[in-house]
Amino acid sequence: MKHLLSTQDLSLGDAISILDTAEEMAAVGEREVKKLPALRGRTVVNLFFEDSTRTRISFEAAAKRLSADVINFAAKGSSVSKGESLKDTAQTLSAMGADAVVIRHWASGAPHRLASTDWIDAAVINAGDGTHEHPTQALLDAFTMRRHWTQLAGIESQGADLTGMRVAIAGDVLHSRVARSNVWLLRTLGADVTLVAPPTLLPIGVEQWPCKVSYDLDETIATGVDAVMMLRVQGERMNDSFFPSTREYSRRWGFDDSRLRSLDTLGMKDTIIMHPGPMNRGLEISAAAADSPRSTVLAQVRNGVSVRMAALYLLLSGDTREPAATPGAGVAAAPSTKESI
Ligand code: NCD
């Protein structure tokens, strides 16, 4: 496969191969010289039609660590404000020789459109499309969970999946591309997923998703969870009132201080608290929870660079005009798995 558009397309083998390659990339990040020559001479364009801090910076850092040339394109301040279409923008980038386009767009399906037309010949990576998917976020979340899960089991993370891990994803599921991508990927990796949200913040048809659904966060925690992923309340996508008040929301669906304490009382000493960021502190997550030793928020950001390096490497190396340099023993084998990503 040439593009990374959705976690629904990933087989177990694909997912493990990306996570294992990301482990190799993380090892490079520990070295004194953190840069690899693997994508020298290749051009990665970050095409962002929607605001982003960590995802854009993370892709930029990943591409630079692989020695690619990076062009950052933000729709604000560009000809898109003058009404230029996605097609014209894409063709302009193509004419400039882009090898990969990392696209974030407010419209669900925009990356698929880019990948399925002949507007551009580059590899397309979906960096978040509307309320649809955000595959690299789910992969970095899975990477973070896998490190934790294998550490608890005292085994190597390379090659492991998440069989048996209980994950609760709580909050604004309706508007969350992170939740959608996570549900598909976690199911593939063998985890047991429960979505927790007020009924107004669950999408129609959620009962067909491969997960459980609950309206009660305390009940879900009490049944036992190994990771709780809190989702941001996406005010910018809300054109209606989805809950009575922010106070009511944080009391019922936020990971507040009393729920943080309940993990201790219930004897769940190894349960981690995740959030993709940006966080609304005091709304879906309390400051104490976000900053507690259980929180993986910063580890997720760190792991994001390794996972995006892996995605760029696997998509861009191997088919090249120039052979890709091999960053480490494990990655040396990676190009052979590339076709299947
Ligand atoms: C997420 C996104 O943009 O979908 N954030 C991110 O990529 N770090 C989640 C969010 O905005 O709440």
pLDDT digits (tens, 9 = 90+) for 72-96: 988 777 777 666 788 888 888 888 8
Residue 87 within any structural domain of the chain = yes
Residue 338 within any structural domain of the chain = no
54 is in an annotated binding site: yes
251 is in an annotated binding site: no
Q: Which residue has the least CA distance to atom 3 on ligand 1?
A: 128
Q: Is the pLDDT confidence value at 217 over 80? A: yes
**Domain range holding 68?**
3-133+300-317
Tokens of 337: 């798995």
What angle in degrees, to the nearest 10, is found between the helix axes of 297-316 and 54-65?
A: 50
Ligand 1: nearest atom to the Cα of 231: 12
Ligand 1: nearest atom to the Cα of 134: 4
Q: Is the pLDDT confidence value at 287 over 90? A: yes
203 in the same domain as 95: no
| Continuous segment of H or E residues that includes residue 111 | helix 110-116
> Which amino acid is it at 321?
R
Query: What pLDDT score was predicted for residue 97?
Result: 92
Coil vs helix vs strand at 88? helix
Q: Over pLDDT 90: what percentage of the chain?
A: 79
Averaged pLDDT, 215-231:
98
291 in the same domain as 163: yes
> Which amino acid is it at 55?
T
What's the gap in Å between 105 CA and the centre of ligand 1? 12
Residue 325 within any structural domain of the chain = no
> pLDDT averaged over the chain?
91
Coil vs helix vs strand at 284? coil
Give the residues surrounding ligand 1 with Cβ less than 6 Å away. 54-55, 128, 134, 137, 177-178, 232, 234, 276-277
CATH of the domain at 91: 3.40.50.1370
Q: Report how many domains make up the chain.
A: 2
35 is in an annotated binding site: no
The total of other beta-carbon atoms located within 10 Å of residue 235's CB is 12
162 in the same domain as 218: yes
Residue 120 within any structural domain of the chain = yes
247 is in an annotated binding site: no
What's the gap in Å between 324 CA and the centre of ligand 1? 31
84 in the same domain as 25: yes
183 in the same domain as 162: yes
Q: Which residue has the least CA distance to atom 7 on ligand 1?
A: 55
Q: C-alpha distances in angstroms, 188 versus 45, 181, 185, 288? A: 30, 11, 5, 32
Residue 336 within any structural domain of the chain = no
280 in the same domain as 251: yes
Residue 83 within any structural domain of the chain = yes
275 in the same domain as 148: yes
Distance CA 222, CA 262 (A): 9
155 in the same domain as 41: no
Query: What pLDDT score was predicted for residue 83?
Result: 67
98 in the same domain as 194: no
98 in the same domain as 144: no
- Dihedral angle computed from the Cα positions of residues 245, 201, 308 and 41, in that order, rounded to the nearest 10 degrees: -100
